[in-house]
Amino acid sequence: MDISIIFKLAAIGIIVTVVCQVLKKSDRDDISTVVSIVGLVLALTVAVTMIGDLFETVQEIFGVT
């Protein structure tokens, strides 16, 4: 596992948090919710990619096709 993946997830979280706070302060709660959902989808996409790589590695190790 590369540490850059952890930094990507942390960056997504920080950016989403800052944008949501700015939007909530400007009374845009509906857009803030959409930004939160988009951030969640981005983080899950990164996680699913990592899990897919893990399964491929396990298949290679055990010779399962």
Over the stretch 1-53, which tens digit does the pLDDT of each residue have? 679 989 999 999 999 999 999 999 999 999 999 999 999 999 999 999 999 99
d(CA 8, CA 14): 10
- What is residue 63's DSSP assignment? T
pLDDT at position 2: 79
Are the C-beta atoms of residues 53 and 30 closer than 8 Å to each other? no
Residue 65 has pLDDT above 80, yes or no: no
pLDDT at position 9: 94
pLDDT at position 1: 62
pLDDT at position 64: 82
pLDDT at position 13: 96
